[in-house]
Homo-oligomer: A and B are copies of this chain.
Amino acid sequence: MPSLESLDPAWLPVEAFRALGGRRVSVRGSGELVETVRAEVREACGRFGGEVVSEGPCELLLEVTAGELRELGDEGFVFAFDGERASVTASAGAGLLYGFFHVVRLGEDAFRGPVRGELHSPALPSRMVDHWDNVAVHPVMGQVERGYAGGSLFWADGAARRDLGRVRAYARLLAACGVNAVAVNNVNVHAAEARLLTERIGEVAFLADALRGYGIRTHLSVTFAAPIVLGGLETSDPLDAGVREWWAGAVGEVYAAVPDFGGFVVKADSEGQPGPFAYGRSHADGANMLAAALAPFGGTVHWRAFVYDHRQDWRDRSTDRARAAYDHFAPLDGEFAANAVLQVKHGPMDFQVREPVSPVLGALPRTRVAVEVQATQEYTGQQRHACWLGPMWSEVLRFRPGGEQGPSVGESADELVAVSNVGDDPFWTGHPLAQANLYTFGRLAWEPGAEPLDVLDEWLRLTFGEGELGGLRGLLAGSWAMYEKYTAPLGVGFMVQPGHHYGPSVDGYEYSPWGTYHFADRDGVGVDRSVATGTGFAGQYGEPWASVYESVESCPDELLLFFHHVPYGQVLKSGKTVIQHIYDTHFEGVEEAEEARRVWAGLKGVVEPERFARGVERFEEQVRSAREWRDQVNSYFFRKSGVPDERGRVIY
Contact = CB atoms under 8 A, between A and B. Distances in A.
A609 to B, nearest CB: 31
Nearest to A641: B522
Given A635-B511, A652-B315, A523 B640 contact: no
Contact of A140 (B139, B315, B636, B638): B139
A628 B523 CA distance: 24
Interface string A37-59: 00000000000000000000000
Contact of A507 (B140, B507, B638, B641): B507
Contacts of A511: 504-505, 628, 631-632, 635-636
Interface in A473-530: 504-508, 511, 520-523
A137 B81 CA distance: 67
Contacts of A505: 507-508, 511
Interface in A538-587: none
A408 B640 CA distance: 43
A521 B642 contact: yes
A315 B511 CA distance: 24
Interface in A615-652: 628, 631-632, 635-636, 638-642, 652
A314 interface: yes
A642 B523 CA distance: 8
A508 B631 CA distance: 16
Contacts of A635: 511
Contacts of A317: 652
A640 B640 contact: yes
A644 to B, nearest CB: 12
A521 B640 contact: yes
A639 B522 contact: yes
Nearest to A632: B511
A640 B519 CA distance: 11
Contacts of A638: 521
Given A511-B635, A641-B522, A314 B140 contact: no
Contacts of A628: 511
Interface residue SS majority, chain A: loop
B521 A639 contact: yes
Contacts of A506: 507
Contacts of A520: 639
Contacts of A140: 139-140
Contacts of A642: 521-523
A215 to B, nearest CB: 40
Contacts of A508: 505
A285 B507 CA distance: 44
A633 to B, nearest CB: 10
Nearest to A317: B652
Contacts of A504: 511
B507 A640 contact: no
A506 B520 CA distance: 14
B522 A314 contact: no
A641 B317 CA distance: 21
A546 to B, nearest CB: 29
Interface string A109-146: 00000000000000000000000000000011000000
A178 to B, nearest CB: 40
A508 B505 CA distance: 8
A511 B642 CA distance: 18
A652 to B, nearest CB: 4
Contacts of A631: 315, 511
Interface string A381-424: 00000000000000000000000000000000000000000000
Nearest to A635: B511
Nearest to A506: B507
A472 B525 CA distance: 46
A635 B507 CA distance: 12
Nearest to A511: B632
Contacts of A314: 652
A349 B140 CA distance: 29
Nearest to A643: B522
A631 B508 CA distance: 16
Contacts of A521: 638-640, 642
Contacts of A640: 521-522, 639-640
A520 B314 CA distance: 21
Contacts of A523: 642
A535 to B, nearest CB: 16
Interface string A73-106: 0000000000000000000000000000000000
Nearest to A316: B652
A190 to B, nearest CB: 16
Contacts of A315: 631, 652
Interface in A281-324: 314-315, 317
A353 B628 CA distance: 30
A600 B583 CA distance: 52
A641 B635 CA distance: 16
22 contacts: A140-B140, A314-B652, A315-B631, A317-B652, A504-B511, A505-B507, A507-B636, A511-B628, A511-B631, A511-B632, A511-B635, A520-B639, A521-B639, A521-B640, A521-B642, A522-B522, A522-B639, A522-B640, A522-B641, A522-B642, A639-B640, A640-B640
Top-8 shortest CB links A-B: A521-B639, A139-B139, A315-B652, A522-B522, A507-B507, A511-B632, A522-B642, A522-B640
Given A520-B639, A522-B640, A523-B642, 12 more contacts: A504-B511, A505-B508, A505-B511, A507-B636, A511-B631, A511-B632, A511-B636, A521-B638, A521-B639, A521-B640, A522-B522, A522-B641
